[in-house]
Amino acid sequence: MRQNPFGEGQARGGRRGFGFSPRLLILVAFIAYGAYYYFSNRSTDPLTGETVLIDKGISPQDEKALGLQAYQEILAQESPVDPDSQISRQVREIAQRLIVKIPEVEDALAAEHGMKAQHIEDSFDWDVTVLQSDQANAFCLPGGKMAVYTGLVPVAQNADAMAIVMGHEITHALLRHGAQRMTEQKLAQLGQMAGAMSGMDQQQLQMAMAVYGYGRSLPYARKQESQADEMGLMLAAAACYNPEEAIPLWERMGQASGGQAPPEFSSTHPSSATRIQNLRALMPKAQEYRKRFCTGGGAVGAR
Protein backbone atom coordinates (compact mmCIF):
# COMPACT_ATOMS: atom_id res chain seq x y z
CA MET A 1 0.00 0.00 0.00
CA ARG A 2 1.35 3.38 -0.98
CA GLN A 3 2.04 5.81 1.82
CA ASN A 4 0.59 9.27 1.78
CA PRO A 5 3.57 11.42 0.74
CA PHE A 6 2.21 14.22 2.87
CA GLY A 7 2.08 12.22 6.07
CA GLU A 8 -0.78 10.66 7.94
CA GLY A 9 -2.48 13.82 9.03
CA GLN A 10 -5.03 13.76 6.21
CA ALA A 11 -8.08 11.68 7.01
CA ARG A 12 -10.00 9.81 4.36
CA GLY A 13 -12.82 11.69 2.79
CA GLY A 14 -12.00 15.07 4.31
CA ARG A 15 -9.40 17.73 5.23
CA ARG A 16 -8.29 19.14 8.57
CA GLY A 17 -9.04 22.90 8.88
CA PHE A 18 -6.55 25.50 10.02
CA GLY A 19 -7.77 27.16 13.23
CA PHE A 20 -6.42 30.19 15.05
CA SER A 21 -5.11 30.14 18.57
CA PRO A 22 -7.17 32.37 20.89
CA ARG A 23 -3.91 33.55 22.44
CA LEU A 24 -2.64 34.63 19.04
CA LEU A 25 -5.84 36.57 18.37
CA ILE A 26 -5.55 38.31 21.73
CA LEU A 27 -1.89 39.13 21.08
CA VAL A 28 -2.74 40.62 17.68
CA ALA A 29 -5.52 42.67 19.30
CA PHE A 30 -3.11 44.02 21.93
CA ILE A 31 -0.52 44.89 19.27
CA ALA A 32 -3.16 46.66 17.17
CA TYR A 33 -4.42 48.65 20.14
CA GLY A 34 -0.87 49.48 21.22
CA ALA A 35 -0.08 50.80 17.74
CA TYR A 36 -3.30 52.82 17.70
CA TYR A 37 -2.57 54.21 21.17
CA TYR A 38 0.97 55.16 20.18
CA PHE A 39 0.16 56.93 16.93
CA SER A 40 -3.04 58.62 18.13
CA ASN A 41 -1.35 60.22 21.15
CA ARG A 42 1.71 61.65 19.43
CA SER A 43 2.18 65.39 19.05
CA THR A 44 4.96 67.90 18.47
CA ASP A 45 6.21 69.87 21.45
CA PRO A 46 6.58 73.49 20.32
CA LEU A 47 9.36 74.19 22.83
CA THR A 48 11.64 71.38 21.66
CA GLY A 49 10.36 70.61 18.17
CA GLU A 50 10.39 66.93 19.19
CA THR A 51 7.62 64.38 18.69
CA VAL A 52 6.29 63.43 22.12
CA LEU A 53 3.83 60.87 23.42
CA ILE A 54 1.22 62.29 25.80
CA ASP A 55 -2.06 60.51 26.46
CA LYS A 56 -4.81 62.88 25.32
CA GLY A 57 -6.79 61.80 28.38
CA ILE A 58 -4.19 63.43 30.66
CA SER A 59 -4.82 67.18 30.76
CA PRO A 60 -2.56 69.81 32.34
CA GLN A 61 -5.25 70.20 34.99
CA ASP A 62 -5.03 66.48 35.79
CA GLU A 63 -1.26 66.84 36.15
CA LYS A 64 -1.71 69.89 38.34
CA ALA A 65 -4.03 68.00 40.69
CA LEU A 66 -1.58 65.10 40.94
CA GLY A 67 1.27 67.54 41.54
CA LEU A 68 -0.58 69.27 44.37
CA GLN A 69 -1.40 65.94 46.01
CA ALA A 70 2.23 64.82 45.82
CA TYR A 71 3.45 68.19 47.14
CA GLN A 72 1.16 68.03 50.17
CA GLU A 73 2.30 64.48 50.92
CA ILE A 74 5.97 65.49 50.68
CA LEU A 75 5.53 68.50 52.95
CA ALA A 76 3.78 66.29 55.51
CA GLN A 77 6.76 63.90 55.56
CA GLU A 78 9.68 66.32 55.19
CA SER A 79 10.92 69.21 57.36
CA PRO A 80 10.31 72.60 55.74
CA VAL A 81 12.77 75.36 56.61
CA ASP A 82 11.43 78.57 58.18
CA PRO A 83 10.08 80.61 55.22
CA ASP A 84 11.59 83.74 56.79
CA SER A 85 15.10 82.27 56.91
CA GLN A 86 17.78 83.69 54.64
CA ILE A 87 18.00 80.59 52.44
CA SER A 88 14.22 80.49 51.97
CA ARG A 89 14.14 84.14 50.93
CA GLN A 90 17.05 83.62 48.51
CA VAL A 91 15.43 80.59 46.90
CA ARG A 92 12.12 82.43 46.51
CA GLU A 93 13.91 85.34 44.84
CA ILE A 94 15.56 83.00 42.35
CA ALA A 95 12.23 81.30 41.63
CA GLN A 96 10.53 84.65 41.07
CA ARG A 97 13.18 85.81 38.62
CA LEU A 98 12.91 82.56 36.66
CA ILE A 99 9.11 82.49 36.61
CA VAL A 100 8.77 86.01 35.21
CA LYS A 101 10.92 85.05 32.20
CA ILE A 102 9.05 81.88 31.27
CA PRO A 103 6.66 83.44 28.69
CA GLU A 104 9.47 85.17 26.78
CA VAL A 105 11.71 82.11 26.73
CA GLU A 106 8.86 79.82 25.68
CA ASP A 107 7.86 82.15 22.84
CA ALA A 108 11.48 82.33 21.64
CA LEU A 109 11.99 78.55 21.75
CA ALA A 110 8.70 77.85 19.99
CA ALA A 111 9.53 80.42 17.30
CA GLU A 112 12.76 78.51 16.57
CA HIS A 113 10.55 75.61 15.45
CA GLY A 114 7.98 77.74 13.63
CA MET A 115 5.36 77.11 16.31
CA LYS A 116 3.54 78.91 19.11
CA ALA A 117 4.00 78.16 22.81
CA GLN A 118 1.00 76.75 24.69
CA HIS A 119 1.81 78.57 27.95
CA ILE A 120 0.42 75.94 30.31
CA GLU A 121 2.16 77.87 33.10
CA ASP A 122 -0.70 80.39 32.98
CA SER A 123 -2.70 77.95 35.14
CA PHE A 124 0.15 77.16 37.56
CA ASP A 125 -0.13 78.08 41.24
CA TRP A 126 3.54 78.67 41.97
CA ASP A 127 4.92 77.85 45.38
CA VAL A 128 8.45 77.10 46.55
CA THR A 129 9.64 75.57 49.81
CA VAL A 130 13.10 74.80 51.16
CA LEU A 131 13.30 71.36 52.80
CA GLN A 132 15.84 70.33 55.42
CA SER A 133 17.70 67.36 53.97
CA ASP A 134 21.18 66.22 53.00
CA GLN A 135 19.96 65.53 49.48
CA ALA A 136 21.60 67.66 46.79
CA ASN A 137 18.34 67.89 44.92
CA ALA A 138 15.32 69.98 43.94
CA PHE A 139 12.05 69.40 42.10
CA CYS A 140 9.18 71.18 40.41
CA LEU A 141 5.91 69.28 40.15
CA PRO A 142 3.24 69.85 37.50
CA GLY A 143 1.28 72.92 38.49
CA GLY A 144 4.30 74.81 39.82
CA LYS A 145 4.88 73.35 43.28
CA MET A 146 8.62 73.46 43.92
CA ALA A 147 11.09 72.47 46.60
CA VAL A 148 14.83 72.82 47.11
CA TYR A 149 16.69 70.59 49.57
CA THR A 150 19.28 72.25 51.79
CA GLY A 151 21.83 69.64 50.68
CA LEU A 152 21.91 71.35 47.29
CA VAL A 153 23.17 74.65 48.74
CA PRO A 154 26.83 73.66 49.35
CA VAL A 155 27.00 71.96 45.93
CA ALA A 156 25.49 74.91 44.06
CA GLN A 157 27.62 77.40 46.04
CA ASN A 158 26.08 80.46 44.37
CA ALA A 159 22.80 81.88 43.09
CA ASP A 160 23.76 81.36 39.42
CA ALA A 161 24.20 77.62 39.83
CA MET A 162 21.08 77.37 42.00
CA ALA A 163 19.10 79.14 39.26
CA ILE A 164 20.38 76.66 36.67
CA VAL A 165 19.19 73.73 38.78
CA MET A 166 15.83 75.35 39.49
CA GLY A 167 15.40 76.31 35.85
CA HIS A 168 16.03 72.68 34.94
CA GLU A 169 13.35 71.48 37.37
CA ILE A 170 10.83 74.10 36.22
CA THR A 171 11.38 72.96 32.65
CA HIS A 172 10.33 69.40 33.50
CA ALA A 173 6.90 70.78 34.46
CA LEU A 174 6.67 73.10 31.44
CA LEU A 175 7.51 70.30 28.99
CA ARG A 176 4.96 67.98 30.65
CA HIS A 177 7.54 65.31 31.26
CA GLY A 178 5.36 63.82 33.98
CA ALA A 179 2.50 63.20 31.53
CA GLN A 180 4.98 61.71 29.06
CA ARG A 181 6.25 59.30 31.70
CA MET A 182 2.70 58.25 32.62
CA THR A 183 1.94 57.59 28.96
CA GLU A 184 5.12 55.55 28.54
CA GLN A 185 4.17 53.51 31.59
CA LYS A 186 0.77 52.74 30.08
CA LEU A 187 2.43 51.65 26.85
CA ALA A 188 4.79 49.40 28.82
CA GLN A 189 1.83 47.89 30.69
CA LEU A 190 0.13 47.10 27.39
CA GLY A 191 3.31 45.32 26.32
CA GLN A 192 3.39 43.31 29.54
CA MET A 193 -0.25 42.26 29.14
CA ALA A 194 0.37 41.29 25.53
CA GLY A 195 3.36 39.21 26.55
CA ALA A 196 1.41 37.47 29.30
CA MET A 197 -1.48 36.72 26.95
CA SER A 198 0.91 35.28 24.37
CA GLY A 199 2.07 32.66 26.84
CA MET A 200 5.41 34.15 27.87
CA ASP A 201 6.65 32.92 31.23
CA GLN A 202 7.91 35.28 33.94
CA GLN A 203 11.54 35.03 32.88
CA GLN A 204 10.70 35.82 29.27
CA LEU A 205 8.58 38.79 30.35
CA GLN A 206 11.44 40.11 32.46
CA MET A 207 13.84 39.80 29.54
CA ALA A 208 11.40 41.58 27.22
CA MET A 209 10.94 44.44 29.70
CA ALA A 210 14.71 44.70 30.14
CA VAL A 211 15.07 45.11 26.39
CA TYR A 212 12.34 47.76 26.46
CA GLY A 213 14.05 49.53 29.35
CA TYR A 214 17.49 49.72 27.82
CA GLY A 215 16.23 50.30 24.29
CA ARG A 216 13.39 52.75 24.89
CA SER A 217 12.59 53.76 28.47
CA LEU A 218 16.03 54.78 29.75
CA PRO A 219 17.10 56.63 26.57
CA TYR A 220 13.75 58.45 26.62
CA ALA A 221 14.33 59.54 30.22
CA ARG A 222 17.86 60.74 29.42
CA LYS A 223 16.49 62.72 26.50
CA GLN A 224 14.05 64.45 28.84
CA GLU A 225 16.91 65.37 31.14
CA SER A 226 18.86 66.87 28.24
CA GLN A 227 15.80 68.86 27.18
CA ALA A 228 15.44 70.19 30.72
CA ASP A 229 19.15 71.06 30.80
CA GLU A 230 18.81 73.12 27.61
CA MET A 231 15.63 75.02 28.38
CA GLY A 232 16.60 75.45 32.03
CA LEU A 233 19.89 77.01 30.94
CA MET A 234 18.08 79.44 28.62
CA LEU A 235 15.65 80.32 31.40
CA ALA A 236 18.44 81.05 33.90
CA ALA A 237 20.32 83.12 31.33
CA ALA A 238 17.20 85.12 30.47
CA ALA A 239 16.72 85.81 34.19
CA CYS A 240 20.19 87.44 34.26
CA TYR A 241 22.04 84.53 35.84
CA ASN A 242 25.43 83.49 34.49
CA PRO A 243 25.01 80.33 32.35
CA GLU A 244 28.77 79.64 32.52
CA GLU A 245 28.22 78.45 36.10
CA ALA A 246 26.58 75.31 34.69
CA ILE A 247 29.97 73.78 33.93
CA PRO A 248 31.53 73.95 37.43
CA LEU A 249 28.12 73.05 38.88
CA TRP A 250 28.07 69.70 37.09
CA GLU A 251 31.71 69.13 37.89
CA ARG A 252 30.79 69.49 41.56
CA MET A 253 27.72 67.29 41.07
CA GLY A 254 29.98 64.58 39.67
CA GLN A 255 32.33 64.89 42.63
CA ALA A 256 29.40 64.84 45.08
CA SER A 257 28.27 61.47 43.70
CA GLY A 258 31.59 60.02 44.86
CA GLY A 259 31.84 57.87 41.76
CA GLN A 260 28.69 55.99 42.80
CA ALA A 261 26.60 57.04 39.79
CA PRO A 262 25.54 54.10 37.58
CA PRO A 263 26.83 53.81 34.01
CA GLU A 264 24.98 56.14 31.68
CA PHE A 265 23.40 53.35 29.60
CA SER A 266 21.65 52.00 32.71
CA SER A 267 20.62 55.38 34.15
CA THR A 268 17.68 57.72 33.69
CA HIS A 269 20.14 60.65 33.66
CA PRO A 270 23.08 61.51 31.41
CA SER A 271 26.47 61.30 33.07
CA SER A 272 28.02 64.50 34.40
CA ALA A 273 30.58 64.34 31.59
CA THR A 274 27.87 64.12 28.93
CA ARG A 275 25.96 66.97 30.52
CA ILE A 276 29.04 69.18 30.63
CA GLN A 277 29.78 68.45 26.98
CA ASN A 278 26.21 69.31 25.96
CA LEU A 279 26.12 72.44 28.10
CA ARG A 280 29.40 73.70 26.62
CA ALA A 281 27.86 73.38 23.16
CA LEU A 282 24.78 75.32 24.34
CA MET A 283 26.74 78.17 25.91
CA PRO A 284 26.73 80.53 22.86
CA LYS A 285 22.95 80.19 22.64
CA ALA A 286 22.59 80.80 26.38
CA GLN A 287 24.72 83.93 26.19
CA GLU A 288 22.54 85.16 23.32
CA TYR A 289 19.41 84.60 25.45
CA ARG A 290 21.06 86.52 28.28
CA LYS A 291 21.78 89.50 26.03
CA ARG A 292 18.30 89.35 24.56
CA PHE A 293 16.15 88.90 27.66
CA CYS A 294 18.23 90.03 30.66
CA THR A 295 16.47 93.33 31.23
CA GLY A 296 16.13 93.20 35.02
CA GLY A 297 12.43 92.36 34.88
CA GLY A 298 10.32 92.27 38.03
CA ALA A 299 9.50 89.32 40.24
CA VAL A 300 6.07 87.79 40.54
CA GLY A 301 4.51 84.46 41.30
CA ALA A 302 6.13 82.40 44.04
CA ARG A 303 4.85 82.85 47.54
Q: Which residues have a catalytic role annotated?
A: 169
The secondary structure of 35-47 as a DSSP string is HHHHHHTEEE-TT
**Structure-derived torsion over alpha carbons of residues 191, 215, 273, 90, reported in degrees to the nearest 10:** -20
Query: What distance in Å separates the CA atoms of residue 82 and residue 86, rounded to the nearest whole number?
Result: 9
The answer to whether 64 and 124 are in contact (CB under 8 A) is yes
Sort strands 127-131 and 51-53 into parallel, antiparallel or unpaired: unpaired
CA–CA distance, 243 with 160 (Å, rounded to integer): 7
Interatomic CA distance for residues 56 and 146, integer angstroms = 25
DSSP-assigned letter for residue 214: I
Compute the distance between CA of residue 69 and CA of residue 27 in angstroms, rounded to an integer: 37
